[in-house]
Amino acid sequence: MTIFLKKFGTTLTSRQFGKESFAAFEPSLREIKDAEKVEVDFEGVITFTPSWGDEFLSPLLERFDDRLILKNTSNLSVKATLKILEEVYQRKFKVE
């Protein structure tokens, strides 16, 4: 499954919005099969922050672990956010 973040918006800031986004998408995660990869595509995102990112990516990482793969992460706010979240989680994201 690929999750296109731009479908949540192009300005992804605030914990509240991150939490709401995850809660809204959560039912779709049930379709994912046991060995299936979960790709998160950042294409089209303009502003990305640790508060939104933490609320959305942390539960995905917890649930899918090594099967979580991030794509199109070249935007500077995406890069800077992933770096700080890696420090917080003390682990690296798999980036394609």
Partner 1 sequence: MDSKLLTIGQASKMVGVSIQTLRRWDDVGRLPSVRKPKGGHRHYRKEDVENYIKSNVKDLFRLAKSWITSDSGIEPRHDFYCSNSSVFQARLSKLENDLGRVKEISGIFPLIVAIAGEIGNNSFDHNLGNWPDIPGIFFAYDLKKKEVILADRGQGVLKTLKRIKPELANHQDALMVAFTEIISGRAPESRGNGLKFVREVVVNNEIRLFFQTGDARLKIQKDDSNLDIKKTLTNFRGCLARIKF
Distance between CA atoms of residues 33 and 28, nearest Å: 11
15 forms part of the interface with partner 1 (CB under 8 A): yes
Which region, judged by CB under 8 A, interacts with partner 1, from 22-30, 31-39, 64-72, 88-96? 88-96
Question: Which residues have CB under 8 Å from 89's CB, separation 6+?
Answer: 58, 61
Which region, judged by CB under 8 A, interacts with partner 1, from 6-14, 22-30, 33-41, 65-73? 6-14
Whether 95 contacts 69, CB under 8 Å: yes
Whether 45 contacts 78, CB under 8 Å: yes
81 forms part of the interface with partner 1 (CB under 8 A): yes
Residue ranges in contact with partner 1 by CB under 8 A: 10-11, 13-17, 46-51, 54-55, 58, 75-77, 80-81, 83-84, 87-90
